[in-house]
Amino acid sequence: MVLPVAYHLARRGVRATVLEKGDMASGSSGACDGLVLLQSKRPGIHLRLAMESRKLFNRLSEELPVSIEYRCSGGMVVIETAEEFRAMERYAEEQKETGLEVALLDIAGARRMEPELSESLAGAAYSPPGRAGESHCPDPWFGSGRQGPGGRAYGPTPK
């Protein structure tokens, strides 16, 4: 998280210094699934922050000198039981109030989109492409030059 913060500070002309004990993005940021998933976010500020973050990824794809392999693929959250489906109905309504485009599908509808889904599931919550995305290697470039625009990054001294 620190490298993107330093990057955006540097873009605003603020000199930032990142001290990293390991290699850049050697923590969970470099190992995570790289999903920019909106549906898993609680309605309200949590989801609004994620929606703003997703907009940044669009811009980053144009700004950075390297590809972050960002693609908008949409997202589907499967629902196992009828009880969960009722809970997800309320949750999805609140997410819509926050601005997320999301639809609840019964299992027939979900399997039309994802035929490999088990018939034993109750259904799925689906958010179309452009509303959820996925990207890989978001962090490495921020520190690769050890001297980004207006910022410095210090890791362990190479042996």
Ligand X SMILES: Cc1cc2nc3c(=O)[nH]c(=O)nc-3n(C[C@H](O)[C@H](O)[C@H](O)COP(=O)(O)OP(=O)(O)OC[C@H]3O[C@@H](n4cnc5c(N)ncnc54)[C@H](O)[C@@H]3O)c2cc1C
Q: Which residues bind ligand X (CB under 6 A)?
A: 1-2, 19-22, 26-29, 32-35
| Smallest separation, CB 11 to ligand X (Å) | 19
Q: Measured between alpha carbons, how far is 81 from 121 in angstroms, rounded to an integer?
A: 7
Q: Which is nearer to ligand X, 20 or 101 (CB)?
A: 20
| Smallest separation, CB 51 to ligand X (Å) | 13
Q: Which is nearer to ligand X, 56 or 109 (CB)?
A: 56
- Name the residue number minimizing CB distance to ligand X: 27
* CA separation, residue 97 to residues 2, 45, 52, 70, 150 (Å): 31, 12, 16, 27, 39
Q: Which is nearer to ligand X, 35 or 117 (CB)?
A: 35
| Smallest separation, CB 83 to ligand X (Å) | 27
Q: Which is nearer to ligand X, 10 or 109 (CB)?
A: 10
| Smallest separation, CB 16 to ligand X (Å) | 14
Q: Which of 46, 37, 39, 35 is nearest to 96 (CA)?
A: 39
